[in-house]
Chains A and B, each alone.
Chain A
Protein backbone atom coordinates (compact mmCIF):
# COMPACT_ATOMS: atom_id res chain seq x y z
CA UNK A 1 0.00 0.00 0.00
CA UNK A 2 2.94 2.31 0.69
CA UNK A 3 4.04 1.98 -2.89
CA UNK A 4 0.76 3.25 -4.29
CA UNK A 5 0.96 6.90 -3.08
CA UNK A 6 4.55 7.06 -4.36
CA UNK A 7 3.44 5.87 -7.75
CA UNK A 8 0.54 8.29 -7.83
CA UNK A 9 2.97 11.07 -7.03
CA UNK A 10 5.34 9.93 -9.79
CA UNK A 11 2.43 9.75 -12.21
CA UNK A 12 1.34 13.30 -11.44
CA UNK A 13 4.91 14.53 -11.68
CA UNK A 14 5.34 12.98 -15.12
CA UNK A 15 2.05 14.37 -16.39
CA UNK A 16 3.00 17.77 -15.07
CA UNK A 17 6.46 17.49 -16.62
CA UNK A 18 5.04 16.96 -20.12
CA UNK A 19 3.21 20.26 -19.76
CA UNK A 20 6.54 21.95 -19.11
CA UNK A 21 8.24 20.40 -22.13
CA UNK A 22 5.38 21.10 -24.52
CA UNK A 23 5.49 24.87 -23.94
CA UNK A 24 7.83 26.45 -26.49
CA UNK A 25 11.07 28.06 -25.38
CA UNK A 26 10.77 31.86 -25.42
CA UNK A 27 14.44 32.72 -25.18
CA UNK A 28 14.62 34.53 -28.53
CA UNK A 29 12.10 37.16 -29.56
CA UNK A 30 10.36 36.66 -32.86
CA UNK A 31 10.17 39.13 -35.71
CA UNK A 32 6.97 37.46 -36.96
CA UNK A 33 4.04 39.84 -36.98
CA UNK A 34 2.96 43.30 -38.08
CA UNK A 35 5.07 46.35 -37.21
CA UNK A 36 4.51 50.07 -37.69
CA UNK A 37 7.25 52.67 -37.98
CA UNK A 38 7.33 55.06 -35.00
CA UNK A 39 10.26 57.22 -36.10
CA UNK A 40 13.69 57.21 -37.69
CA UNK A 41 17.08 58.16 -36.29
CA UNK A 42 20.12 59.67 -37.94
CA UNK A 43 23.28 58.51 -36.16
CA UNK A 44 26.58 60.39 -35.93
CA UNK A 45 29.63 58.97 -34.12
CA UNK A 46 27.62 56.24 -32.48
CA UNK A 47 24.95 58.57 -31.14
CA UNK A 48 21.47 59.50 -32.25
CA UNK A 49 21.95 62.90 -33.90
CA UNK A 50 18.32 63.55 -34.77
CA UNK A 51 14.91 61.96 -34.78
CA UNK A 52 12.65 62.06 -37.82
CA UNK A 53 9.02 61.85 -36.79
CA UNK A 54 6.13 60.73 -38.96
CA UNK A 55 4.41 63.84 -40.33
CA UNK A 56 1.33 64.56 -42.43
CA UNK A 57 -0.14 61.09 -42.25
CA UNK A 58 3.11 59.26 -43.03
CA UNK A 59 2.74 55.54 -42.28
CA UNK A 60 5.07 52.63 -42.92
CA UNK A 61 4.11 49.09 -42.02
CA UNK A 62 6.00 45.81 -42.35
CA UNK A 63 4.67 42.28 -42.06
CA UNK A 64 7.06 39.40 -41.32
CA UNK A 65 5.69 35.88 -41.65
CA UNK A 66 7.53 32.57 -42.05
CA UNK A 67 10.54 33.93 -43.92
CA UNK A 68 8.58 36.38 -46.08
CA UNK A 69 8.51 40.14 -45.58
CA UNK A 70 6.37 42.85 -47.16
CA UNK A 71 6.33 46.55 -46.44
CA UNK A 72 4.40 49.54 -47.76
CA UNK A 73 4.65 53.27 -47.16
CA UNK A 74 1.84 55.80 -47.22
CA UNK A 75 3.33 59.22 -47.73
CA UNK A 76 0.88 61.77 -49.15
CA UNK A 77 3.64 64.39 -49.52
CA UNK A 78 5.83 62.14 -51.66
CA UNK A 79 5.02 61.85 -55.39
CA UNK A 80 6.95 58.56 -55.44
CA UNK A 81 5.54 55.38 -53.99
CA UNK A 82 7.47 52.87 -51.91
CA UNK A 83 6.94 49.20 -51.20
CA UNK A 84 8.90 45.98 -51.22
CA UNK A 85 8.46 42.24 -50.99
CA UNK A 86 10.99 39.48 -50.41
CA UNK A 87 12.48 37.03 -47.95
CA UNK A 88 14.34 37.56 -44.68
CA UNK A 89 16.54 35.85 -42.17
CA UNK A 90 17.62 37.11 -38.78
CA UNK A 91 19.72 36.28 -35.77
CA UNK A 92 19.66 37.97 -32.39
CA UNK A 93 21.61 40.97 -33.73
CA UNK A 94 21.40 40.86 -37.52
CA UNK A 95 18.63 41.14 -40.09
CA UNK A 96 18.98 40.39 -43.80
CA UNK A 97 16.28 41.10 -46.35
CA UNK A 98 16.38 40.01 -50.00
CA UNK A 99 14.06 42.00 -52.22
CA UNK A 100 12.15 40.04 -54.88
CA UNK A 101 10.26 43.02 -56.21
CA UNK A 102 9.35 46.54 -55.20
CA UNK A 103 8.00 49.88 -56.36
CA UNK A 104 9.77 51.70 -59.19
CA UNK A 105 11.92 53.57 -56.69
CA UNK A 106 12.88 50.37 -54.88
CA UNK A 107 13.70 48.58 -58.14
CA UNK A 108 16.06 51.48 -58.92
CA UNK A 109 17.82 50.97 -55.59
CA UNK A 110 17.88 47.21 -56.11
CA UNK A 111 20.17 47.70 -59.12
CA UNK A 112 22.96 48.42 -56.63
CA UNK A 113 21.78 46.65 -53.45
CA UNK A 114 20.52 43.06 -53.64
CA UNK A 115 20.61 42.21 -49.98
CA UNK A 116 19.69 44.73 -47.32
CA UNK A 117 21.72 44.08 -44.18
CA UNK A 118 20.89 45.67 -40.86
CA UNK A 119 21.91 45.54 -37.25
CA UNK A 120 18.84 44.30 -35.37
CA UNK A 121 17.58 45.36 -31.97
CA UNK A 122 14.58 43.23 -31.13
CA UNK A 123 12.39 42.89 -28.10
CA UNK A 124 8.80 41.74 -27.73
CA UNK A 125 7.04 44.98 -28.65
CA UNK A 126 9.70 47.02 -30.47
CA UNK A 127 12.42 46.56 -33.01
CA UNK A 128 14.98 48.72 -34.78
CA UNK A 129 16.75 48.01 -38.06
CA UNK A 130 20.00 49.93 -38.10
CA UNK A 131 21.96 50.63 -41.28
CA UNK A 132 25.74 50.47 -40.80
CA UNK A 133 28.42 52.07 -42.96
CA UNK A 134 31.47 50.23 -44.36
CA UNK A 135 33.24 50.56 -41.02
CA UNK A 136 30.35 49.10 -39.05
CA UNK A 137 29.26 52.50 -37.72
CA UNK A 138 25.56 53.19 -37.29
CA UNK A 139 24.23 55.73 -39.81
CA UNK A 140 20.45 55.43 -39.90
CA UNK A 141 17.73 53.45 -38.17
CA UNK A 142 14.05 52.75 -38.53
CA UNK A 143 12.25 52.11 -35.26
CA UNK A 144 9.07 50.04 -35.18
CA UNK A 145 6.45 49.05 -32.65
CA UNK A 146 4.42 45.85 -32.86
CA UNK A 147 0.79 46.21 -33.99
CA UNK A 148 -0.07 42.51 -33.96
Chain B
Protein backbone atom coordinates (compact mmCIF):
# COMPACT_ATOMS: atom_id res chain seq x y z
CA UNK B 1 0.00 0.00 0.00
CA UNK B 2 2.86 2.32 0.84
CA UNK B 3 4.49 1.61 -2.50
CA UNK B 4 1.31 2.46 -4.36
CA UNK B 5 0.95 5.77 -2.56
CA UNK B 6 4.56 6.61 -3.32
CA UNK B 7 4.02 5.78 -6.98
CA UNK B 8 0.85 7.84 -7.17
CA UNK B 9 2.73 10.75 -5.65
CA UNK B 10 5.60 10.31 -8.11
CA UNK B 11 3.11 10.13 -10.97
CA UNK B 12 1.40 13.38 -9.97
CA UNK B 13 4.76 15.03 -9.47
CA UNK B 14 5.93 14.03 -12.94
CA UNK B 15 2.68 15.13 -14.57
CA UNK B 16 2.88 18.55 -12.88
CA UNK B 17 6.60 18.83 -13.65
CA UNK B 18 5.97 18.72 -17.41
CA UNK B 19 4.08 22.00 -17.02
CA UNK B 20 7.15 23.76 -15.66
CA UNK B 21 9.38 22.69 -18.53
CA UNK B 22 6.95 23.82 -21.22
CA UNK B 23 6.62 27.42 -19.97
CA UNK B 24 9.19 29.64 -21.68
CA UNK B 25 11.74 31.64 -19.72
CA UNK B 26 10.94 35.33 -19.64
CA UNK B 27 14.03 36.97 -18.16
CA UNK B 28 15.02 38.64 -21.42
CA UNK B 29 12.68 41.25 -22.85
CA UNK B 30 12.25 40.77 -26.59
CA UNK B 31 12.16 43.48 -29.25
CA UNK B 32 9.70 41.35 -31.26
CA UNK B 33 6.39 43.11 -31.70
CA UNK B 34 4.86 46.44 -32.69
CA UNK B 35 6.17 49.72 -31.27
CA UNK B 36 5.07 53.34 -31.56
CA UNK B 37 7.33 56.39 -31.23
CA UNK B 38 6.51 58.56 -28.22
CA UNK B 39 9.47 60.96 -28.01
CA UNK B 40 12.99 61.93 -29.04
CA UNK B 41 15.82 62.83 -26.68
CA UNK B 42 18.80 65.02 -27.47
CA UNK B 43 22.05 64.37 -25.57
CA UNK B 44 24.10 67.58 -25.47
CA UNK B 45 26.77 66.18 -23.10
CA UNK B 46 26.93 62.83 -24.90
CA UNK B 47 25.63 60.93 -21.87
CA UNK B 48 22.37 62.29 -20.42
CA UNK B 49 19.19 63.45 -22.18
CA UNK B 50 19.27 67.26 -22.40
CA UNK B 51 15.82 67.78 -23.87
CA UNK B 52 12.74 65.85 -24.86
CA UNK B 53 10.73 66.29 -28.04
CA UNK B 54 7.32 64.67 -27.79
CA UNK B 55 5.70 63.26 -30.91
CA UNK B 56 3.24 65.92 -32.13
CA UNK B 57 -0.48 65.28 -32.60
CA UNK B 58 -1.39 63.06 -35.55
CA UNK B 59 2.28 62.30 -36.19
CA UNK B 60 2.76 58.54 -36.05
CA UNK B 61 5.84 56.40 -36.44
CA UNK B 62 5.47 52.68 -35.94
CA UNK B 63 8.05 49.92 -36.15
CA UNK B 64 7.43 46.21 -36.35
CA UNK B 65 10.11 43.67 -35.44
CA UNK B 66 9.38 40.10 -36.33
CA UNK B 67 11.71 37.12 -36.49
CA UNK B 68 14.76 39.06 -37.72
CA UNK B 69 12.83 41.41 -40.01
CA UNK B 70 12.04 45.05 -39.30
CA UNK B 71 9.69 47.48 -41.03
CA UNK B 72 8.84 51.05 -40.08
CA UNK B 73 6.57 53.73 -41.50
CA UNK B 74 5.95 57.35 -40.59
CA UNK B 75 2.74 59.32 -41.04
CA UNK B 76 2.92 63.11 -40.99
CA UNK B 77 -0.32 64.80 -42.08
CA UNK B 78 0.16 67.34 -44.88
CA UNK B 79 3.80 66.38 -45.39
CA UNK B 80 4.68 65.65 -49.00
CA UNK B 81 7.79 63.69 -48.02
CA UNK B 82 7.27 60.01 -47.28
CA UNK B 83 9.35 57.90 -44.89
CA UNK B 84 9.59 54.14 -44.53
CA UNK B 85 12.12 51.34 -44.45
CA UNK B 86 12.38 47.56 -44.51
CA UNK B 87 15.23 45.19 -43.69
CA UNK B 88 16.73 42.85 -41.13
CA UNK B 89 17.92 43.41 -37.58
CA UNK B 90 20.06 41.95 -34.84
CA UNK B 91 20.10 42.78 -31.14
CA UNK B 92 22.35 42.17 -28.19
CA UNK B 93 21.60 43.29 -24.62
CA UNK B 94 22.82 46.80 -25.43
CA UNK B 95 23.04 47.16 -29.22
CA UNK B 96 20.65 47.19 -32.16
CA UNK B 97 21.83 46.81 -35.76
CA UNK B 98 19.49 47.33 -38.69
CA UNK B 99 20.36 46.59 -42.31
CA UNK B 100 17.74 48.06 -44.58
CA UNK B 101 16.99 46.40 -47.92
CA UNK B 102 14.79 49.15 -49.29
CA UNK B 103 13.31 52.47 -48.20
CA UNK B 104 11.42 55.53 -49.39
CA UNK B 105 13.16 57.89 -51.82
CA UNK B 106 13.66 60.56 -49.15
CA UNK B 107 15.12 58.02 -46.72
CA UNK B 108 17.50 56.78 -49.43
CA UNK B 109 18.93 60.29 -49.72
CA UNK B 110 19.47 60.47 -45.96
CA UNK B 111 20.89 56.95 -45.64
CA UNK B 112 24.54 55.95 -45.57
CA UNK B 113 26.02 53.92 -48.41
CA UNK B 114 25.61 50.45 -46.89
CA UNK B 115 22.13 51.22 -45.46
CA UNK B 116 23.26 49.95 -42.08
CA UNK B 117 22.55 51.50 -38.69
CA UNK B 118 24.35 50.66 -35.47
CA UNK B 119 22.58 51.94 -32.39
CA UNK B 120 22.71 51.64 -28.65
CA UNK B 121 19.69 49.75 -27.35
CA UNK B 122 17.79 50.19 -24.10
CA UNK B 123 15.09 47.55 -23.97
CA UNK B 124 12.43 46.85 -21.37
CA UNK B 125 9.28 44.77 -21.64
CA UNK B 126 7.05 47.62 -22.79
CA UNK B 127 9.38 50.34 -24.01
CA UNK B 128 12.65 50.69 -25.81
CA UNK B 129 15.05 53.40 -26.96
CA UNK B 130 17.37 53.34 -29.93
CA UNK B 131 20.23 55.75 -29.30
CA UNK B 132 22.43 57.13 -32.06
CA UNK B 133 26.06 57.64 -31.07
CA UNK B 134 29.01 59.33 -32.76
CA UNK B 135 32.33 57.66 -33.63
CA UNK B 136 33.57 58.19 -30.08
CA UNK B 137 30.52 56.45 -28.61
CA UNK B 138 28.95 59.69 -27.39
CA UNK B 139 25.17 59.76 -27.50
CA UNK B 140 23.67 62.21 -30.02
CA UNK B 141 19.92 61.59 -29.91
CA UNK B 142 17.40 58.82 -29.39
CA UNK B 143 14.01 57.60 -30.54
CA UNK B 144 11.87 56.29 -27.68
CA UNK B 145 9.10 53.79 -28.33
CA UNK B 146 6.27 52.18 -26.38
CA UNK B 147 4.97 48.69 -27.11
CA UNK B 148 1.60 48.48 -28.85
CA UNK B 149 1.48 44.71 -29.18
- Chain A positions within 8 Å of B, measured between CB atoms, are 3-4, 7-8, 10-11, 14-15, 18-19, 22, 32-34, 59, 61, 63, 65-68, 70-72, 74, 81, 83-85, 100-104, 147-148
Q: Can you identify 19 A-B contacts, CB atoms within 8 angstroms?
A: A7-B7, A7-B11, A10-B11, A11-B10, A15-B15, A18-B19, A22-B18, A32-B66, A59-B86, A65-B34, A68-B34, A68-B149, A72-B86, A74-B86, A74-B102, A83-B84, A85-B62, A101-B73, A148-B66
Residues from chain B with a CB closer than 8 A to the CB of A81 are 82, 84, 104-105
Task: Output the nearest chain B residue to A78 by Cβ-Cβ distance.
Answer: B105
Is B60's beta carbon under 8 Å from chain A?
yes
Number of A-B contacts (CB under 8 A): 100
Instruction: Select one of A18, A85, A148 contacting B67, CB under 8 A.
Output: A148
Residues from chain A with a CB closer than 8 A to the CB of B67 are 33-34, 148
Separation of A81 and B60 alpha carbons in the complex (Å): 17
Separation of A126 and B80 alpha carbons in the complex (Å): 35
User: Are B69's CB and A66's CB within 8 A?
Assistant: no
Is B117's beta carbon under 8 Å from chain A?
no
Is B64's beta carbon under 8 Å from chain A?
yes
Task: Output the nearest chain B residue to A87 by Cβ-Cβ distance.
Answer: B149
Known A14-B11, A63-B64, A72-B71; judge A22-B86 contact (CB<8 A).
no
Is B3's beta carbon under 8 Å from chain A?
yes
In angstroms, how far is the closest chain A Cβ from the Cβ of B148?
7
User: Are B84's CB and A72's CB within 8 A?
Assistant: yes
Is B29's beta carbon under 8 Å from chain A?
no
Separation of A72 and B85 alpha carbons in the complex (Å): 8
Is B53's beta carbon under 8 Å from chain A?
no
Instruction: Select one of B14, B66, B68 contacting A15, CB under 8 A.
Output: B14
Binary flags per residue of B34-63, CB closer than 8 Å to A gives 1, else 0 = 100000000000000000000000001010
Residues from chain B with a CB closer than 8 A to the CB of A4 are 3-4, 7
Separation of A19 and B73 alpha carbons in the complex (Å): 42
